[in-house]
Each structure stands twice: as structure tokens, then as C-alpha cells.
Structure 1
Amino acid sequence: MQSVLLFDFFHPFAFLSLCFATMVRAFKHHEAKLLKKVDFLQWKSENNLREVKVLRKYHIQRREDYTKYNKLCGIIRSLASKISLLDDRDPHKAHTSSALLDKLYRMGLIVTAKGFHQCEAVTASAFCRRRLPVVMVRLKMAENVREAVQLVEQGHVRVGPDAVNDPAFLVTRPMEDFVTWVDTSKIRRHVLKYNDKLDDFDLL
């Protein structure tokens, strides 16, 4: 009987059923009044509120993307913590610290390649800021992230020689200069015409 109760406890619906089934009295007046406006099904933690705010700000359509960013942040912090525990006289510590900082800087997750403390400060928002639509807004290729997402999904954007239609594409710092319109994009032709750079070849 005890094992059954333990199993039921870890099952959320079974646990709730057990709680209601074992109630021996109704709520008193003051208890009912206090709980009248409490909706337990709509309860959200502070972390969930922060997550929703980030998802909206960067127009992230897949929640699993944000979850992956958080996991990557955990891996980075864990790696940084292990490196910091190495003896300062160990040459491997200086090498790995420099390599990690350089990697994070090239990915655009930290503002400078100096200062190992930055590794422990990397957040999911840092990954969000490297998403292609967000970079496009910073490059003034779109007025807002929502518009940029639509342009990417419609196939108007390329990074280097390759067209990209996934808004979750992360743009590294070296590749940021190669974010542009695909050659056949109407947006590209409009921009060239606006800047008076449209030639006969572009009209073909």
C-alpha cells in the first residue's frame, strides 16, 4: 500500500486526486475568501515569466530553441568552473582559458576576449542576440525582429554564399559582415534602386 501511495504522489494528477479525496472538511469562510481569486492552473514562476519575455522580445517561435540556449549556458559555466579550479601554474589552464574566451568572442556571446569572468556571465539572451533576424535589425536590414523573421522565412536573406530561411540560424562575429540579400530578392533590388546602384545586369 505504501509503494502505491509513493507512486501516486509522483504522478501529478493522481496526487491531486488523492488530496481532494482525503479532504475531511470544506474550506472555512476566510479560507475560501483567500483562495477565491487564486488560479493554481495559471500559476507561473519568475523563471517562466522571464522566459516568456525573452521569447517575445526576440520573436522566438520554438521554445526548444530557448531551452537549448540555457543548456549551452550551463555547459559553458560548468567548463569555465572546471578551468578556474586548475592550478594557476598549469600551462594548460592559460591555454584552455584563452581558447574558450576566443571561441565565445568569435560567436559574439561576449563583448571582449579578455576577462575570464565573462564565461560565467553568458546567458540565453546572448545566444538570442546572435540569431539572424536580430542581427538583421542591428544591421538595419529590417525595422524590427518580427519583420526580419518574415524576410528570412521567405528566403530573402543569405549568409555568405548560402541562402538561410531558418530564423534560429546563429550568426558568428566573422560572418556578420556577410549577411545580405539573395541576388534574386525583390528587397535587394529595391535597396539598390533606392541607393541608385541598380544597373542593367540587375534588371535581367
Structure 2
Amino acid sequence: MGDPKRQRKKFDSPRFPWQMDTLEAELKILGEYGLRNKREIWRHKTLLSNYRGIGRSLLGQSVDERETQEKQLLGRLNRLGILHEESELDDVLDLTLEDILDRRLQTLVYRRGLSQSMQQARQLIAHGHISIDGQKVSAPSYLVLREEEDKIEYSPKSPLTDPDHPITRATSIPAEPMLPENEEENKNE
């Protein structure tokens, strides 16, 4: 049967975890994206760091040496929807944590209007109510590919497919956009 593989950490923890500005920034991201703990932030920061490190090493090589690896890296980031098709290698270095967090299934479920909040999106995914192209996905941190983005829906066997379900009714009611005070005054005039 062979030896089992050793489980390794998929993230690097911060060097100075108790700095106030780091704590505040991480706490803001936790609330904004509905993450469970800071380990999820660190996992995505490590992924971003790996992509940026590959980009830096490729920029140090000559154009002939890096051509195929550059196409592979840009192709991968394009398939994930993090970069556009016409992006260049310099754009990899400009990526931020929010670019990766915006591609999480949890974020896309909320942005598509299938849930009322990020926390509810996480719960719907964990309970098996969300599918991608008919395949149930139960990981909120799943990075959705660009081609899968339009195929996010309620699972076929989920009770949420019923239009009379309270959650479905609540999310299908279009909310009126909030206008700043200046625009409201201009409309009344």
C-alpha cells in the first residue's frame, strides 16, 4: 500500500501577527468576505505569493527562456478569471488578495444574488444547496473557473429550487439601489 503522504500546511502565517494594522486589515477582510478564520486569508495570501513569485522569477529570465512558462502562468490565471486574456506578466505582480477572494464560490454565490449575505452563501454551500454545472460543490473556498461562473445555481435536489421557498423568494425580490443623498435631491427637483 505504500507510505502515506505527510500532510503539510497550505499557508504561511504572518511574520508579525500582532501588528495592529495587520490585525485591522485582516479583520476587515474577514467581515467583508464572510471568512471563518484568518487561516483562510493566509491560505489565499500564500497562493497569491506563489503566483507573484513565479512572475518575478520569469521576469528575471530572458524572453526566449520564459515564453512557454509565461503562457502557462497567464493561461492559468485567465482560466481562474483572475486576469484578462490580454494581460501581461507585469499584471501578475499587481494582483491583490481581493482579486483571489473575488473568485471564491462563496463570494460569487452572494454576488449572483443566490443568498442574502456572505454568511448565508457559506451556509448554503456547506449544506449542499449550491451546484456548478449540476455537480454539487460543498467547499466555500473553491476557486471558480471563468467558464464555470455562469453555471452556478441551486442544486437540482435542493428544496431551494422551489420558487415558494422563503430564501428563494427573499433573494428573487429586486432591491432598489441605494442612491447617495445628492442624487435623491436631484431626482426630486
The verdict on a shared fold, with TM-score over 0.5 as the criterion, is yes
Deviation at 1:153, TM superposition (A): 2.1
Counterpart position of 1:55 = 30
CA distance in 1, matches of 2:160, 2:86: 36
- After superposition, the Cα gap between the structure-2 partners of 1:55 and 1:113, relative to the gap in structure 1 and judged at 3 Å, is farther
C-alpha distance 76-187 of structure 1, shift in aligned 2 (>3 A)? same
Aligned CA distance change for structure 1 residues 191 and 97 (closer, same or farther; 3 Å): farther
Deviation, 1:147, is: 2.0
Q: Secondary structure at the match of 1:180?
A: strand
**1:100 Cα deviation (Å)?**
0.9
| 1:104 aligned residue (77, 82, 85) | 77
**For the pair shown, which has the larger CA radius of gyration, 1 or 2?**
1
Aligned partner (choices 47, 50, 53) of residue 75 of structure 1? 50
Contact 2:128–2:137, Cα closer than 8 Å, also in 1: yes
Secondary structure (helix, strand or coil) at the match of 1:167 reads: coil
Q: Are residues 80 and 97 of structure 1, via their aligned partners in 2, closer, same or farther at CA, if it must alter by over 3 Å?
A: same
Given the alignment, which residue of 94, 98, 101 partners 1:121?
94
- Deviations 1:35-82, CA, capped at 9 Å, x for gaps: xxxxxxxx6421221111111100010321211111111111111111
Q: Residue by residue, what CA displacement relative to the aligned partner does 1:84-107 show, whole Å, maximum 9, x if unpaired? A: 11113x1x3222212211111111
Q: Which of the numbers 182, 193, 199 marks the counterpart of 2:155? A: 182
Query: Bigger CA drift: 183-192 or 61-70?
Result: 183-192
TM-score normalized by structure 2?
A: 0.71
Q: Distance in 2 between matches of 1:110 and 1:47?
A: 26
Equivalent pairs, count: 150
Give the number of the structure whose residues are more often helix, by fraction: 1
CA distance in structure 2 between the aligned counterparts of 1:135 and 1:112, rounded to whole angstroms: 20
Instruction: Measure how far apart 1:161 and its partner are.
Output: 3.1
Cα deviation for residue 141 of structure 1 reads: 1.6
Which structure 1 segments of 5+ residues have no match?
Answer: 1-42, 195-204
1:191 and 1:84 mapped to 2: Cα distance? Answer: 55
2:129 and 2:44 map into 1 onto residues whose CA distance is 26
- SS of the residue aligned with 2:131? strand
**Under a length normalisation based on structure 1, what TM-score does the superposition of the two structures give?**
0.66
Counterpart in 2 of 1:134?
A: 107
CA–CA distance in structure 2, aligned partners of residues 191 and 107 of structure 1: 34
The alignment's C-alpha RMSD in Å is 2.2
Q: Residue 60 of structure 1: SS of its match in structure 2?
A: coil
Q: How high is the sequence identity, in percent, across the aligned residues?
A: 21
Unaligned regions of 5+ residues in structure 2, if any?
1-17, 170-189
